[in-house]
Amino acid sequence: MQQVLTRDFLRNADCKTAFGTIEESLLLTPEQRLASLECALARRPDNSPVWIFGYGSLMWNPVFESEEVRPATLQGWHRAFCLRLTAGRGTQLQPGRMLALQEGGQTTGLAFRLPEDKLREELELLWKREMLTGCYLPTWCELTLENGQVVTALAFVMDPQHPLFEQDTNHQVIAPLIACASGPLGSNAQYLFALDNELKNHGMQDERIGELVNTVREWLQQNATGSRGESASA
């Protein structure tokens, strides 16, 4: 049965089992997650409102509470499926690829302004979701909202030194991985298609995502046709 990611699920989740089997050496302890959050808060540039940059599933299922949501652009980073996915929507035996931010280019997404009086509570929930293995580097950056306003935001960018980092993001390499992988939170392909739909819903364009969607759909169709052909000739 597919598990839906909700506030209650995250609050109650046992990180060792709720998302699938995660190699223990990669899993952050609650104390390590808290230390990571404390470190990020210590680097908070100023006392302006804290915004979170959502560029993947945070766009359609943020889970945390926010007081304002605005389309935004992040300069200097682009979306890339460069994170080997062994839990959630993949497994160690059938790994997929998860989204992260890599240096270069720009990314359009959604900016969420967190309530200051609940800041710690919402960030702890976010850290439990995003920092299971510490694969991201929580980075303070400047976001440009659609009206031109510049705000201070946290973005989760890929740590290129992390064991789950994958350098090769060629679509012909990652499309079969995304097409085949699934886990307790659903399939890897569902994630990609949901991202594509969300971008379209907001009138945002990401050519890399659009091309990858087409490649994954082609791969799924070809393999479905091949399976039918094998059945018919058996």
Q: What is the pLDDT of residues 38-67, one digit of tens each?
A: 999 999 999 999 999 999 999 999 999 999
pLDDT tens profile 20-34: 888 889 999 999 999
| Residue 11 to residue 81: CA distance in whole angstroms | 27
pTM over 0.85: yes
Has residue 230 got a pLDDT over 90? no
**What residues have CB less than 8 Å from 169, skipping those under 6 apart?**
80, 81, 82, 97
Has residue 228 got a pLDDT over 60? no
SS (H, E, C) 108-169: EEEEEECCHHHHHHHHHHHHHHHCCCCCEEEEEEEEEECCCCEEEEEEEEECCCCCCECCCC
In order of their start, the domains of the chain are: 7-225 (3.10.490.10)
Instruction: Encode 14-26: b = buried (16+ Cβ within 10 Å), e = exposed.
Output: ebeebbbebeeee
Name the residues annotated as catalytic: 130
User: Helices marked H in 165-206 — which ranges?
Assistant: 171-180, 188-201
Distance of CA 67 to the CA centre of its chain: 21
pLDDT tens profile 98-147: 999 999 999 999 999 999 999 999 999 999 999 999 999 999 999 999 99
Q: What are the φ and ψ backbone dihedral angles of 85, each rounded to 5 degrees?
A: -105, 110
Question: How much helix, strand and coil, in percent to the nearest 5, is found in the chain?
Answer: 35, 30, 35
185 pLDDT band, cuts 50/70/90, is very high
Of the candidates 30, 16, 23, the residue with the CA atom closest to the CA atom of residue 128: 30
Has residue 231 got a pLDDT over 80? no
Of the candidates 63, 81, 212, the residue with the CA atom closest to the CA atom of residue 135: 81
